[in-house]
């Protein structure tokens, strides 16, 4: 009897999440100096972590011999104040990713369905499959969720409808009115999961709190990985009905969020300067990248989040070539988008460096991997 024969069947069919390649790994593979590598592959904050968050994390390290507060009291108090909800309406997770998993663990059994877009952030599909349920992936023509199609895909078997807005990787975001209309179409036994990982980058993110208060089955997730720059700590949260938060709280591990992350996140919430600066750098970076792509004659899809999609001819090859030049981006084959790469918005010099690399590719023998029909100028 082998271990493969012993595990649940879902383990064998579970696709493996392919993260952005780490700097050290690319440095090893290409014989490059890690300090010179630019990572624009995981939608991280190019300004780094919240300085107030890091200061608090350093202090918390001194107490690393103690178990964390499993209930994340201080962070929930602060979040409750800022988000205008009750502490009981909050759940803190080991990244918002953990909350997706908890929701699936709590709600799904084999045969159930989760409705999502074909290019919705892939973590939800993976969580769905892990519990033997079926992801129902509706097509996203124009690289945007069609909310009517999502509603139309709901059946008696549907337990969750998932909408990230802005979505990663397509960047599409949806208005309050359209999202409300979708929620109002859902049956009472379907939970709407609204993933707001990039909400802090938006000027006017939708606010689903009134729907939660009105008793709609809505749960929202946010993260400290993006604008707060705390991706390495793995911390995110959900807000929703207190009954659901309590039920999810029952199945989380007793100490799912470490004390250093809790301290960092609590302090980062008050770091308005870092948030404002990060938002401003991102807005400027989106405009800057748009200029670069236009100048080079490249097609792109902007977003209200901290990344863009760039249309290319051969995404795998662009990914390889850029890596050899010390720039890591993300190919999107796993999303069935072989003609797009996702690029995180960097600082001004970082965006310039990416632009210079693209320009070099266009001027070289492999120009056509970026732009169909492009040929290098004759020497």
Residues that bind ligand PLP (CB under 6 A): 43, 95-97, 121, 164, 168, 195, 197, 223, 225, 231, 236
Pairing of strands 330-331, 218-223: unpaired
- List the one residue out of 258, 281, 357 whose CA is nearest residue 45: 281
244-250 long-range contacts, CB within 8 A, separation 24+: 244/191, 244/219, 245/88, 245/89, 245/90, 245/91, 246/88, 247/106, 248/91, 248/99, 248/102, 248/103, 248/106, 249/91
Residue 6 CB, nearest distance to ligand PLP (Å)?
29
Residue 199 CB, nearest distance to ligand PLP (Å)?
10
Q: Which is nearer to ligand PLP, 257 or 327 (CB)?
A: 257
- List the one residue out of 43, 44, 65, 61 whose CA is nearest residue 53: 61
Nearest residue to the partner ligand PLP, using Cβ: 95
Q: Which is nearer to ligand PLP, 100 or 190 (CB)?
A: 100
Residue 362 CB, nearest distance to ligand PLP (Å)?
29
Residue 193 CB, nearest distance to ligand PLP (Å)?
10
Q: Which is nearer to ligand PLP, 259 or 370 (CB)?
A: 259
Residue 52 CB, nearest distance to ligand PLP (Å)?
19
Q: Which is nearer to ligand PLP, 331 or 355 (CB)?
A: 331
Q: Alpha helices, DSSP H only, in the chain?
A: 3-6, 9-13, 23-30, 51-61, 73-83, 96-107, 123-130, 147-152, 176-185, 209-213, 242-251, 259-269, 272-296, 315-324, 348-363
Residue 287 contacts residue 83 (beta carbons within 8 Å)? no
Q: Which is nearer to ligand PLP, 236 or 240 (CB)?
A: 236
Residue 198 CB, nearest distance to ligand PLP (Å)?
7
Q: Which is nearer to ligand PLP, 50 or 96 (CB)?
A: 96
């Amino acid at each position: 009897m082998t271990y493969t024969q012993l595990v649940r069947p879902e383990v064998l069919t579970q696709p493996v999440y392919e993260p952005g390649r780490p700097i050290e790994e690319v440095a090893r593979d290409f014989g490059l100096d890690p300090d010179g590598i630019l990572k624009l592959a995981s939608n991280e904050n190019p300004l780094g972590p919240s300085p107030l968050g890091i200061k608090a994390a350093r202090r918390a390290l001194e107490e690393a011999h103690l178990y964390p507060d499993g209930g994340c009291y201080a962070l929930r108090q602060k979040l409750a104040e800022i988000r205008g909800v009750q502490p009981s309406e909050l759940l803190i997770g080991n990244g918002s990713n953990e909350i997706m998993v908890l929701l699936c663990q709590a709600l799904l059994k084999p045969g159930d369905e989760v409705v999502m877009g074909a290019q919705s952030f892939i973590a939800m599909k993976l969580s769905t499959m892990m519990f033997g349920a079926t992801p129902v992936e509706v097509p996203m023509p124009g690289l945007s969720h069609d909310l009517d199609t999502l509603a139309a895909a709901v059946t008696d078997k549907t337990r969750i409808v998932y909408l990230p807005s802005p979505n990663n990787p397509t960047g599409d975001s949806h208005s309050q009115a359209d999202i409300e209309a979708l929620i109002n179409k859902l049956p009472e036994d379907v939970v709407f999961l609204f993933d707001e990982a990039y909400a802090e980058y938006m000027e006017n993110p939708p606010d689903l709190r009134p729907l939660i208060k009105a008793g709609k089955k809505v749960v929202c997730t946010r993260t400290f990985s993006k604008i707060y720059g705390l991706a390495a700590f793995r911390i995110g949260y959900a807000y929703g009905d207190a009954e659901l938060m309590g039920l999810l709280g029952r199945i989380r591990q007793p100490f799912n969020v470490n004390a250093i992350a809790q301290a960092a996140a609590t302090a980062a919430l008050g770091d308005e300067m870092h948030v404002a600066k990060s938002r401003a750098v991102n807005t400027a970076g989106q405009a800057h990248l748009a200029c670069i792509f236009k100048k080079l004659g490249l097609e792109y899809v902007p977003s209200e989040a901290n990344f863009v999609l760039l249309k290319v001819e051969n995404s795998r090859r662009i990914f390889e070539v850029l890596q050899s030049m010390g720039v890591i981006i993300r190919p999107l084959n796993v999303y069935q988008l072989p003609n797009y790469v996702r690029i995180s918005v960097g600082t001004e010099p970082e965006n310039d460096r990416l632009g210079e690399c693209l320009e070099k590719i266009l001027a070289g023998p492999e120009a056509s991997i970026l732009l169909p029909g492009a040929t290098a100028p004759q020497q």
